[in-house]
Every structure is written in C-alpha cells, then in structure tokens.
Structure 1
Amino acid sequence: MSTTQTSTLRTEDRDDRPSRGNLLEVRSLRKHFPIRQGIVFQRQIGAVHAVDGIDFSVGPGQSLGLVGESGCGKSTTGRLVTRLLEPTAGSIVFDGEDITHQPPARMRQARRNLQMIFQDPYSSLNPRHTVGTIIETPMKLNGINPEQGHKRRAQELLETVGLNPEHYNRYPNEFSGGQRQRIGIARALALRPKLIVADEPVSALDVSIQAQVVNLLQDLQREFGIAFVFIAHDLAVVRHFCERVAVMYLGKIVEVADRETLYTRPRHPYTHALLSAVPEADPDATERRERIRLAGDVPSPIDPPSGCRFRTRCWKAQDRCASEEPPLVRLGGSSAGHLTACHFPEAPTVAARDQDIVLDPALTGQADS
C-alpha cells in the first residue's frame, strides 16, 4: 500500500478542465435538499447534501459512466444535468450554452438535444397514452414535422429499437419490462439528441434483457454519434459500455479514469472495494481475489464526515483525512486523465486482472446461437 502524496494543484492536474471540444461541462455542481420544521411557520433546520461539488465533462459521442453505492448522488446528478432538478450551486454548460438556470422556455430548446432514459420502465410511461402518442409527443411539442409524418417516424423508431412497428396503437401495459424500456429509448431518440442521460436503464430488467438493451444503446451510439452519461451499479456493464468512468461516494467524485485504467489500476480505496465485490463466474478466481469488506454504514448525507467523506469506512484513514478534504487531482505515477481524491492512495500497480470481471456472454457477442 502506497502513501504517495497528492501533487501540487496545477491546472493540468484537475478533472476535465474546460475545453471547447466538450459537449457537456459540469463545474462545482451542488444540490442540497433543505430539511424544514414546522407546519405554518417553517424554518430550515438542515440539508441533505445529495451532490456536493462535482466536476466532469463529456465530449461529443463519448460515454461517461457514473458508479457508486445507492444514495451516493448518481441519479440526482443525472436529473441536475437534464435540469429536472434545480441546482443549488455550480454550473452546467451544454453544447456551449450555460443552462444552469435557464427558464423553462429556453430549456425546451436545449432538451431537443438533451434527453433522459429513466430507471423504471413502468412508471416512466403514461399508461393512458398509446406507444405512438408517447413517441410522437416530443416531436409535436418541439415543432418537428418529419417529411414522412409523425406516425411513420414513430414506427421507424419502434423498428430501430427492436419492436414491431404495428404496435404503434398499443398501450404500455401490453408490453414486458424490457419492451417498455425500449419504448423509453425510442422516445429519447425521437428528437435526435446529442446527449442522453441513462439513469440505470437496465437495473429493473432480467439479465438476458439487460444484455439486449445495453447492446442496443451501444449500436445507437455508434450509428447516431450520441454521447451518454450512463448511471449504473453493475460494474461489468459499465466497463462494456463506457469509455470513461467516474466513481461517486456520498455526493463527491473520488476517482475518474478511462475504463481500462480504472478497472486494472484503481488508486482510491473505495474503488478497490467496489471492484472486489464484483461477482465471479469462476470459483477459482473468487478464491484468488481478496474481498474488501467495508466497515460500518454509509454516513448520513445530512451530516457528512469532515475532510474525506470515505474516512469513516477506510482502512487507510489517518488524522489528516479528518481535517483536510483531498482534492481530485492527478497523482504521481498516474496517466494524465486518471484523477483521484485521496491523501493516501493505493500504489499504481495492476490491482485487478481482466478475468476478475466477467461479462455476460450476451454482452460480448459470444452467446450461443
């Protein structure tokens, strides 16, 4: 275990510094949900620090994965990026325009290029509308009139996501969970967006259906050049789909790197713990790899720990971790795009072998025909 100290905070060490080539720029983003007391005369007695100062960027056609335990702020981040939630502080620049506090009328224009796929395929579709109406509505609201007409365009989108175009007049309750998620994807594609925020799009689906949906999203990304912010718990799926991965813990990003670097040479202890918990298909590999079991529970976001938020569960924590918050910087021995927020990071050696993380055969295209 290395105790390499963080390097001097130069501009080039910081995470994803602003670039004209980036489609999405998120800087110092925060979302605090106030806790109020009283019925008639309410007063704020605290706040839930759901997202507490994060920075990341996504280039055109790129995919960024957000991973972490439940409650770490991943879904809140996705809703902030799409402005379904109002940020407490920070900035969101999308396609060269600051949308942090844009009024609804201006946001409607931005959402033509910024769409979201929701986690629950059952509650995200209006049960009183037909599939055709669900897919056509975004086009009608944005004044988009395809030459072939709205109906034909909706049928084409159904075919694109692997559904029968003749199901245009059916209702959501007539479809399975995987089929409903495909309808949600078709709705997100209706406006030909530049960026899609996918909030755990396969977590509610069966394993076999998960592989189909992930492969579908990957095909659509290649065909249309769509950028993705992909939120997920499944580290194998994230490795298969995303080019870069950001690890979140209690409202903070603690590590970000390209997928191969993060999965084979993680520097943050929390990332090591997450990777050690990935299920193994090979019993012998399970015995070879040491499982890191974190002590205690995730602290409350109402009163997060001082300094490093992971210190209360970290086996490497020292006094400095309680008094000083570690910045997200490039450490000695790391590649230029590999950033970690830790005072006492792991050594930059190979910590996880390729065979340690086993992908479903359907994800790799090696499934039996």
Structure 2
Amino acid sequence: MTAAIPAQAPAGDPQSAAPTAVPLLEVSGLTKHFPIGGGLLRRKAGAVQAVDDVSFSVGAGESFGLVGESGCGKSTTGRLVARLLEPSGGTIRYDGRDITHASRRQLAPLRSQIQVVFQDPYSSLNPRHTVGTIISGPMKVNGIDPPGGHRKRVQELLEIVGLNPEHYNRFPHEFSGGQRQRIGIARALAVEPRLVVADEPVSALDVSIQAQVVNLLKELQRDLGIAFVFIAHDLAVVRHFCERVAVMYLGKVVEVADRASLYTNPHHPYTHALLSAVPGERGADGARRPRVRLTGDLPSPANPPSGCRFRTRCPKAQAVCAEQEPPLVRLGAAPAPDVACHFPAPPDPTAAAGPVAAVPAGAAAP
C-alpha cells in the first residue's frame, strides 16, 4: 500500500544538519551536466547528469565526507567545489562570497585558500620536476615568500608529512606511491589553505600506507585547523576521518548525517546497503548488520529513472517512488539526519511501516 507523502521540511539548503557557526563552504543546488554529442553535426543529443541539485555545507576546520559507488558524482562535486569545473547550475559560496561563476582573475586570490589532493599519486606529480620544484611552485605562483626562502619552507613541509627534508632534489619516480601522496599533500599545504578537497587520497595505496596517510591528514586538520571535503568509497576510512558524511547515489545526495548517526542508525535504504558491505560493521544494538544485496544494474546518469533514482534497486520502492522525486528533508530536530526517501526508517524489522514525518529545524522531534 502506498502511504501518503507527509508534509516535509526542505533540507537542501546549506544550513541543513550543519554546524551552527557560519559555514566556510556553502553549496546549494549544485549541478553539472556534461553534454553528449550527436554525430557529425555535433548537435546535443542529451546530457550526463553527473551532479544534480547537490547541497551541503562545511564549517571551518570540519571534515566532511562524500561517499558512494564509483560514478555517483563524488569527484565531480569535489572539482566543482574547487572550481576546476564550471557548474551548470546552483551556487558555491566560499567564506560568504559567491564563487559559482567567478572568472580566473577573480579566483586567483582564492586559489591559495582552496587546494586539492588528487586521487592518483602517480599522474598528479610532474615527472620532469624535482620535489622542491613541485612543492615550491604554488608558493611562487601565489607570490608567497616564506621566511628563510622557498627551499627552507619546502624542507619543513617534507618533514611535516613524514619525508626526509634532504630529498628536496629527488624526482617523483624515486618515491613509492605512499610517499608520492605525501608529496601531493605537502604541495597542497605549501600555500596554507583553509579548505582542502581530498579526492580519494588513499584509494591507490596499500592498506598499511592508507592508515599512515589518513592519520597524517587527521593530525594536520587538528594542528592547522584545515577544513576537508574528503571523497572516498571506503566507508571505514570515512568513519575514521570525517565528522559529518553525505551519501551520494547517481548524482544526488540521499542522506546527510553526523558520523555517529549515520553509522549506527542509517535511514536511507542505500546507506544501509553500503554499510552492510563493510566488514565488521555493526548496528546500534551491536549486532552484525545483515548483508543487503542490491539487485539490478546501476542506471545510466544520461538517462536516470523517474522519481527516486534509487527505486530500481530499492527493496522498499512503491508506486509513489516512480512518480515523485523525494526531497532531501530533515527527519526531526537538529542534529537529525537529512534523508531523500519517501519511506525513510532505520533498518529495524520491528519499526512501524510507512513514511517517517519530518519536522522543521528547531521543532521538537516527533
């Protein structure tokens, strides 16, 4: 039986489930569609909806995670936030300033404040340049002249990320993958950023090296007060590093919650499926989560399903899911999670059937 859609409080605004302080980064309705060419005449034959109406915020010094399957739009979102890609729609505000469509000249003063750690430590470093040149380059481009000169500062950064300062003149091919990623982190830190977009910074590394790099980032966040947008598909890594987490599916954010709530009591069926695949992950009652196996293939972002994009693989889908797209709403008073589902509920077989009513922010929870 299809239950009626309850009156819901919109949670797509950047303040939703965010810290009370003014956010350093505010993303609202962010969209990126890549056009698909149509043969010899190069007419537009459609678009890949890589990111569609994504909203979240990140406070100063906060670590915010973006998780989901490969192809869900995580990395594209990160590149949009760093303004390495031009958005198709929505707004990006950094420190209260709208940078959505800022020109290269307007972005120049902000480049030193927003840095990126790229996923591949092998292709993100120029093999023809020495480590000293790679790390000092951003400082020279941004007109930063540190006390003691660039060489001294580079050696200090190498020591901060756990590398030998005497390796200043070595080339990238002389380092391992984990060491190269540390060089990429040192390059990002060279301009003393306030926000770092870490795009799957440990996915290409061995497990033991992953732990070292994640712990390094955590120390840097604590010591330097850097805010992180941490992109990953490994939920165990995200749990260790991030304070709040947004789950993405096929270009959409389906759930946003603080770490404790998301991992112990997920509300969206897709979040439940992701967590059930994490070895050793347990629910709020301490019991091992039952494995949820999603049926069907991941739909194409060029032709997403009507209504809820997850409905073709969702065990809870009903007719309304195909007819209406569920908005991202807050399920109670803050810090309750924001969920985009017509039938959000904890994965508890004893829970009452039917949709959970949402209440406006600041109201008493039902």
Work out whether 1:256 is the aligned partner of 2:256: yes
C-alpha distance 228-206 of structure 1, shift in aligned 2 (>3 A): same
Instruction: Using the TM superposition, give the Cα deviation of residue 95 of structure 1 relative to its aligned residue in structure 2, in angstroms.
Output: 1.4
Alignment partners' CA distance in 2, 1:68 and 1:350: 25
Alignment partners' CA distance in 1, 2:144 and 2:300: 45
For residues 181-229 of structure 1, give each alpha carbon's deviation from its aligned partner in whole angstroms, at most 9, with x where no partner exists. 0000000000000000000000000000000000000000001000000
For residues 143-163 of structure 1, give each alpha carbon's deviation from its aligned partner in whole angstroms, at most 9, with x where no partner exists. 110111001001100000000
Instruction: Using the TM superposition, give the Cα deviation of residue 114 of structure 1 relative to its aligned residue in structure 2, in angstroms.
Output: 0.1
Provide the aligned length of Structure 1 versus Structure 2. 344
Q: Equivalent residue for 1:17?
A: 15
Work out whether 1:339 is the aligned partner of 2:357: no
Q: Equivalent residue for 2:269?
A: 269
Matches within 5 A, 1:179-218: 179-218=179-218
Alignment partners' CA distance in 1, 2:95 and 2:299: 36
Q: Runs of 5+ in structure 2 lacking a partner?
A: 351-366
Instruction: Please say if residues 266 and 347 of structure 2, whose CA atoms lie closer than 8 Å, have aligned partners that are also in contact.
Output: yes
Q: Equivalent residue for 2:33?
A: 32
Instruction: Using the TM superposition, give the Cα deviation of residue 9 of structure 1 relative to its aligned residue in structure 2, in angstroms.
Output: 2.4
Q: Equivalent residue for 2:52?
A: 52
Which amino acid letter does the alignment assign opposite residue 17 of structure 1? Q
Which amino acid letter does the alignment assign opposite residue 159 of structure 2? E
Instruction: Using the TM superposition, give the Cα deviation of residue 7 of structure 1 relative to its aligned residue in structure 2, in angstroms.
Output: 4.2
Alignment partners' CA distance in 1, 2:8 and 2:145: 54
Matches within 5 A, 1:93-132: 93-132=93-132
Which amino acid letter does the alignment assign opposite residue 15 of structure 2? R
Instruction: Using the TM superposition, give the Cα deviation of residue 118 of structure 1 relative to its aligned residue in structure 2, in angstroms.
Output: 0.2
* SS of residue matched to 1:321: helix
Work out whether 1:329 is the aligned partner of 2:325: no
Which amino acid letter does the alignment assign opposite residue 276 of structure 2? S
Alignment partners' CA distance in 2, 1:317 and 1:15: 26
* SS of residue matched to 2:329: coil
Instruction: Using the TM superposition, give the Cα deviation of residue 338 of structure 1 relative to its aligned residue in structure 2, in angstroms.
Output: 1.0
C-alpha distance 296-220 of structure 1, shift in aligned 2 (>3 A): same
Alignment partners' CA distance in 1, 2:95 and 2:324: 35
- Counting aligned pairs with the same residue, the percent is 68
Alignment partners' CA distance in 2, 1:240 and 1:281: 13
Instruction: Using the TM superposition, give the Cα deviation of residue 289 of structure 1 relative to its aligned residue in structure 2, in angstroms.
Output: 3.2
Alignment partners' CA distance in 2, 1:295 and 1:326: 21
Misfit runs of 4+, over 3 Å: 3-7, 13-16, 285-289, 334-337, 347-351
For residues 73-131 of structure 1, give each alpha carbon's deviation from its aligned partner in whole angstroms, at most 9, with x where no partner exists. 00000000011111001111011211111111221211110000000000000000000
Instruction: Please say if residues 4 and 345 of structure 1, whose CA atoms lie closer than 8 Å, have aligned partners that are also in contact.
Output: no
Which amino acid letter does the alignment assign opposite residue 79 of structure 1? R
Instruction: Using the TM superposition, give the Cα deviation of residue 5 of structure 1 relative to its aligned residue in structure 2, in angstroms.
Output: 5.4
Instruction: Using the TM superposition, give the Cα deviation of residue 350 of structure 1 relative to its aligned residue in structure 2, in angstroms.
Output: 11
Instruction: Please say if residues 265 and 349 of structure 1, whose CA atoms lie closer than 8 Å, have aligned partners that are also in contact.
Output: no
Alignment partners' CA distance in 2, 1:194 and 1:337: 27
C-alpha distance 235-142 of structure 1, shift in aligned 2 (>3 A): same
Instruction: Please say if residues 280 and 286 of structure 1, whose CA atoms lie closer than 8 Å, have aligned partners that are also in contact.
Output: no
Alignment partners' CA distance in 1, 2:171 and 2:266: 46
* SS of residue matched to 2:330: coil
Instruction: Please say if residues 26 and 56 of structure 1, whose CA atoms lie closer than 8 Å, have aligned partners that are also in contact.
Output: yes
Alignment partners' CA distance in 2, 1:243 and 1:340: 17
Q: Equivalent residue for 1:242?
A: 242
Instruction: Please say if residues 67 and 248 of structure 2, whose CA atoms lie closer than 8 Å, have aligned partners that are also in contact.
Output: yes
C-alpha distance 15-272 of structure 1, shift in aligned 2 (>3 A): farther
Which amino acid letter does the alignment assign opposite residue 343 of structure 1? H
C-alpha distance 286-204 of structure 1, shift in aligned 2 (>3 A): farther
Alignment partners' CA distance in 2, 1:6 and 1:171: 60
Alignment partners' CA distance in 2, 1:106 and 1:20: 26
Alignment partners' CA distance in 1, 2:313 and 2:89: 28
Instruction: Using the TM superposition, give the Cα deviation of residue 274 of structure 1 relative to its aligned residue in structure 2, in angstroms.
Output: 0.3
Instruction: Please say if residues 230 and 242 of structure 1, whose CA atoms lie closer than 8 Å, have aligned partners that are also in contact.
Output: yes
Alignment partners' CA distance in 1, 2:275 and 2:63: 20
Alignment partners' CA distance in 2, 1:324 and 1:138: 47
Alignment partners' CA distance in 2, 1:254 and 1:216: 30
Q: Equivalent residue for 1:73?
A: 73
Alignment partners' CA distance in 2, 1:306 and 1:152: 57
TM-score by length of 1: 0.89
Q: Equivalent residue for 1:362?
A: none
Which amino acid letter does the alignment assign opposite residue 30 of structure 1? T
For residues 327-349 of structure 1, give each alpha carbon's deviation from its aligned partner in whole angstroms, at most 9, with x where no partner exists. 100125x7434100000112386
Alignment partners' CA distance in 2, 1:337 and 1:82: 28
Q: Equivalent residue for 1:366?
A: none
C-alpha distance 15-278 of structure 1, shift in aligned 2 (>3 A): farther
